[in-house]
Amino acid sequence: MESETVAIIGPQRSTTARVVAHVATELKIPILSFSATDPTMSPLQFPFFIRTSQNDLFQMAAIADIVQFYGWREVVAIYGDDDYGRNGVAALGDRLSEKRCRISYKAALPPAPTRENITDLLIKVALSESRIIVVHASFIWGLELFNVARNLGMMSTGYVWIATNWLSTIIDTDSPLPLDTINNIQGVITLRLHTPNSIMKQNFVQRWHNLTHVGLSTYALYAYDTVWLLAQAIDDFFKKGGNVSFSKNPIISELGGGNLHLDALKVFDGGKIFLESILQVDRIGLTGRMKFTSDRNLVNPAFDVLNVIGTGYTTIGYWFNHSGLSVMPADEMENTSFSGQKLHSVVWPGHSIKIPRGWVFSNNGRHLRIGVPNRYRFEEVVSVKSNGMITGFCVDVFIAAINLLPYAVPFELVAFGNGHDNPSNSELVRLITTGVYDAGVGDITIITERTKMADFTQPYVESGLVVVAPVRKLGSSAMAFLRPFTPQMWLIAAASFLIVGAVIWCLEHKHNDEFRGPPRRQVITTFWFSFSTLFFSHRETTTSNLGRIVLIIWLFVVLIINSSYTASLTSILTVHQLSSPIKGIETLQTNHDPIGYPQGSFVRDYLIHELNIHVSRLVPLRSPEEYDKALRDGPGKGGVAAVVDERAYIELFLSNRCEFGIVGQEFTKNGWGFAFPRNSPLAVDVSAAILQLSENGDMQRIRDKWLLRKACSLQGAEIEVDRLELKSFWGLFVVCGVACVLALAVYTVLMIRQFGQQCPEEAEGSIRRRSSPSARIHSFLSFVKEKEEDAKARSSRERQLEDISANGSSRCN
């Protein structure tokens, strides 16, 4: 640069190029580098720096696509602690974040590390969870790193090693590699700058091999194209009338010469015009089209994806900036339809063809601490026993999912909470973010606030918020007409009909021909008369005053019973419209009644912030028993009008409490999931296991074991609440009964009196002839049974006979 220089090709290292680029910028000398790939060397900072190969930014994008393609989430990055290494890994981190992946551990080595440095670093890497290792190394110590890794057993099954294009450059340049070296890198994936297999390239490679046995890397091809690019730019520069002239830089002159001879440096006067000529070059070279974009990157960046196998490598695919991964090169893709990102099969370290999981549990001997909420309510969901054992539906689902994983997961369940007050699940999730717990298992509802702190699995229970309130809910059935009365009421009513019928028969039998006749007819008449009064359709008339009095009282009783039955049956058949004054969450929003909610739940914040319900109306409840008491007491006795909770809990609560029910519609859609730290690969695997549990039926069996309860008999419970009981009508039955008894008593007295008046001689003769009371009773019953007109006629005939007999005796005397 002390001489009159118009352009610089090189240097090869990014760290050197950065220093030289500062000087070249002051001297306005274009600097073209075919191997300085540091992505941070931008034209804004270094306007005279031109990269004639691909930017590492695209190489890192290719690695990020590979990581995403295999479903990995975290990688470990090993790099040299210089500008080239740091900036390359920073670009990798940016590209991974775009794929929702990340670098879990940045392992930096000194620019010139010793074997001891490498060993110490790899031991730390081996203790980490991720098994995806990206090596952005230098040609100097890259192979040494793989040698140490093999000695530490890190080139075995389960590991994934991805090397940037430094490794492919060594393979191309020094091929064939020594056997020990090639054994150290078996199964490694590496990238290589893609160059089309043109005739120009084939001829050049053949000429090169005729000249030397040294391998030819892609950087050599880019170096060749860089020379031709510069030659074409110089030609264009002169065609435009450019002139090569130099001038002194006053700033540099003031610094003085010194040992660096800075005073000899001169500014290229035509530097800006020459720079434009270089950037406008558009030619086809060995590496393909040499043309710069607006941000000074070569067009159509692409990489080959290589897999080191045996004594060489195989190409498993390609990466293109416009389309991503593919098994076809660019020229073939133009003639066929693009089928999406994919790669050929890979032989991984340890000679395994199975895609590695990409992570293991940290090798520090510690079990995962799984936080489980220690709740006071609903032990079926999760319960912490007095002996420390933790059971429940959520725990069984978690254990079943863990057992389906293809690897062992050492864990221990740790109770979170004191067991008296329901702990906050949001606080449990927060403690996961701070490292107190490694995961959360339980009835943890997936809500927006919590997803910002942790990753959740696939929901294993669908559960939204519902409103439960006291209800009276009866459905129609074939025997619905029996529901208005209790069995006791039906029995007393039927007996009353029969008794009243019998009383009316007794009172009317002697005087009324409609109640006389053969015994069979009398029985049928009595039954017909008594039950026809239910519809006021009896056709038999009552002639006696006592019978009419009893009938009037009985018809009043029937009227009351009939009206009550009709009203009750109507209410039962239409009770779904009148089940509860609470119609749903809309009713609770408009009234001012207290509302119950589960203590420690997100429901409180939801009601306050989303539904604008004042906090003074909210009543925390800890257990199903408190739910029951609060709902039974109601707002008037210090209880609540309704309880808002998740459907899964309410279904358990209602399994044996039929006087309550869900009113309105479910007004949120949530689910329960297991919480893990952000970007935890275990969350993905457990989600897949939960789906498998659902598909094979195990989830339903676990649910039936814990959550399936024999529902209470809704019909029976509602009968106890809605049926008309005897105590509501006992007064009417007593009045009717007293009337019947009095009527029979009066009737009996009247019959005895008539019996004495119409048959005095028979009564007295009976007394003289027979001293047995049964004879008198028999005579009395015969008199009662006899029709009144017949009895009077018979009595009249007997008197006439007695008169004739008396007259005959007086003549004889």
**Per-residue confidence (pLDDT) for residue 718, from 0 to 100:** 36
**pLDDT number for residue 574:** 67
Is 250 a residue whose pLDDT tops 80? Answer: no
Tell me which of 441-445, 509-513, 623-627 is least confident: 509-513
Residue 366: per-residue pLDDT: 72
Identify residue 312 by its one-letter amino acid code: G
Give 664's DSSP letter: S
| Residue 31, beta-bridge partner list | 8, 49
> Can you give the three-state secondary structure of 406-455, one letter per residue?
CCCCCEEEEEECCCCCCCCHHHHHHHHHCCCCCEECCCCECCHHHHCCCE
Give the tokens for residue 274: 């020459």
Look at residue 776 in the predicted model and tell me its pLDDT: 59
Question: So what's the pLDDT on residue 106?
Answer: 95
Contact (Cβ atoms closer than 8 angstroms) between residue 420 and residue 431: no
Look at residue 763 and tell me whether its pLDDT is greater than 70: no
The answer on pLDDT for 329 being more than 50 is yes
Mean predicted confidence (pLDDT) in 15-44:
90
The alpha carbon dihedral of 662, 667, 672, 675 has a sign of negative
Over range 126-132, report the average pLDDT.
90
Model confidence at 11, in pLDDT bands (50, 70, 90)?
confident
Using the CB atoms, write b or e for 621-640: b if 16+ within 10 Å.
bbbbebbbebbeeebeeebb
Confidence (pLDDT) at 767: 44
Whether residue 325 is predicted with pLDDT greater than 70 in this model: the reply is yes
Peptide bond into 176 cis (omega under 30): yes
Task: Report whether pLDDT(413) > 50.
Answer: yes
Tokens representing 500? 């009243």
User: Do the Cβ atoms of 303 and 59 come closer than 8 Å?
Assistant: yes
Tell me which residue of 61, 78, 222, 65 sits closest to 136, measured CA to CA. Answer: 78
pLDDT score of 553: 86
Is the pLDDT at 812 greater than 60? The verdict is: no
Residue 314 has pLDDT above 90, yes or no: yes
Write out the H or E segment, with its range, that includes residue 110: none
Question: DSSP secondary-structure letter at 575?
Answer: G
Tell me what the mean pLDDT of segment 432-438 comes to: 93
List the structure tokens of 50.
């031109």
Question: Of 65-74, 180-189, 660-669, 803-812, which gets the smallest average pLDDT?
Answer: 803-812
Query: Would you say residue 171 has pLDDT above 60?
Result: yes
Specify the DSSP class assigned to residue 591. Answer: S
Element (H, E) at 563: helix 545-573
pLDDT of 280 over the 90 cut: yes
Mean per-residue pLDDT, 15-29: 89
Q: How far apart are CA 729 and CA 594, in angstroms?
A: 37
**What distance lies between CA 129 and its chain's CA centroid?**
27
pLDDT higher for 48 or 514?
A: 48
- pLDDT confidence of 455, banded at 50, 70, 90? very high
Q: What number is the average pLDDT over the span 761-776?
A: 52
In tens, the pLDDT along 741-752 reads: 898 888 788 777
pLDDT band at 260 (very low <50, low <70, confident <90, very high): low
Higher-scoring residue by pLDDT: 551, 714: 551
pLDDT score of 778 more than 80: no
- Model confidence at 542, pLDDT cuts 50, 70, 90, reads confident
Average pLDDT, the chain: 84
- Average pLDDT rounded to a whole number, residues 38-42: 90
% of the chain residues with pLDDT over 70: 82
Residue spans of beta strands (DSSP E) within 291-402:
302-309, 312-320, 324-326, 368-373, 383-384, 390-391
What are the angstrom distances between the C-alpha of 378 and each of 34, 256, 443, 581?
A: 69, 86, 10, 27
- Percent of the chain at pLDDT > 90 equals 47
Q: What is the pLDDT of residue 62?
A: 96
Q: Give the pLDDT band of residue 686 (cuts 50, 70, 90).
A: very high
Mean pLDDT of 654-658: 83
Higher pLDDT: 377 or 562? It is 562
Task: State the pTM of this model.
Answer: 0.64
Q: Which helix H or strand E contains 463, and what residues bound it?
A: none
| Mean pLDDT lowest among 305-319, 368-382, 777-791 | 777-791
- Going by pLDDT thresholds of 50, 70 and 90, the confidence category of residue 808 is low
Whether pLDDT at 107 is above 80: yes
